[in-house]
A and B are shown apart, each in its own frame.
Chain A
Amino acid sequence: MRLSGYRRLPLLRQRAFLGFTRLVGAELDHVGQSCLRRPELWGKPMLALAQEVLRGPSSWTVGERELLAAVVSQSNSCSFCIATHSSIADRALPAPTFEDWRDGAAGPPVTAAAQFVVKLTTAPDTMGPADVDATRDAGVTEAALAEAVYIAFLFNLMNRVVDGLAFTHRSDRDRLRGADMLRRRGYRLPGFLFVRPNRPPASIR
C-alpha cells in the first residue's frame, strides 16, 4: 500500500474487525480497507455495484462471472485481482478453468465473452459489430454480453486502483481464505463498519 496514511484504519471498531480477520487468517485486504477508509466516495457505492454485478441475478453463474473478472484482470496484468478472482472462479466452477480458459475449458459462451472483454479492455477503440457477432455465434445473448461489459467496467476500474496504489495481500494464506470468504459471502461488509466520513482536509486547487 503506497499511501502510508491508509495503512491504519481510522476507527477502533474497524481496527478491531481487521484484527479479527487477521486472527482467522483471512485478513480484510487492501480493497476492503480502502472501502472502510473512504466509505462515501468509494466503498459503499463500489461494493454495492460489485455485489450486484458479481452476485446479483445474471445469465452467468458466480464462477463464470468471477472467471470473466480474472480474465479482465489478466488483460491489465493486475496480479492482485488475478490471484483473488481466479481462485474464486476455480472454486466456484465445476473444475478449475482459469489457466486453460483460452483453450475453451469454460465452454463456448464463456470463452467468447472472455475474448470480448479482453479486447474491450486492451483495444476498445478497435471494436466493432463483428465482435458482438462472434459472441452471438457462440450462444451469448445480448443480456449476458451486457453483463460481461459491466464486469469489464468494474475490473478496469479496480485493477487500476489496485496497481496504482500497490494493494497487496498479507500472505498467500490470507488471500486464499479471503477469496473463499468472498465466494461464500459476496461483496458486503458489516454495516457497523461504515460511518460518516471524516471531515476532509482543505481542498487543493
Chain B
Amino acid sequence: MGSPSAAGVVSRLGPHVEALVRAVLDSPGATTPAVRREARDGHASDEVFGPYLAKVRQHAYRVVDADVEALTTKGLSDDAIFEVTVAAALGEAEHRLETGLSLLGQ
C-alpha cells in the first residue's frame, strides 16, 4: 500500500474521476453506452469510425479535417462524433491514471 497521504489524494480526487467516467459512458446521448465503451476500450468499429479514433488515442494532433468529414459523410452527427471522441480520449487517460497510481500502490 502507498502512504496514507497518497491514499487521501485518491479518496479526494477519485470520486470526481468516477463521476466523469460515468457521465461520459452512461449519459443519454446520440450514441449508446456500448458504442462509447468500445471507443473507450479501443475496440470501436473501424468500418464506422475509420482511422479517426485510433488517431485520437495515439496522436490526436495528427487528426485532420478530412478524418472528421469522413464520419459526417457516413451519417454520424456532431453529437455522436463528440461522444466517441471524449470516450476514446478517456480510455487513454484512464490507462495513464491506473499506471501512475499502481506505481504508488494505490
Contacts and interface: CB of A to CB of B under 8 A. Distances in A.
Interface of A: 2-6, 34, 38, 40-42, 44-46, 48-49, 52-53, 56-57, 76-79, 116, 120-121, 124-125, 127-129, 131-132, 141-143, 145-150, 152-154, 156-166, 197, 200-205
A49 B6 CA distance: 17
B61 A163 contact: yes
Interface residues of B, number: 60
B57 A45 contact: no
B68 A2 contact: yes
B28 A197 contact: yes
Contacts of B6: 141-143, 145-146
Contacts of B89: 156-161, 164
B contact patch SS: helix
B60 A143 contact: no
Listed residue (B19, B52, B92) with the most chain A CB atoms within 10 angstroms of its CB: B92
Given A52-B16, A161-B60, 4 more contacts: A143-B5, A150-B13, A158-B89, A166-B63
Contact of B16 (A41, A45, A132, A149): A45
B65 A166 contact: yes
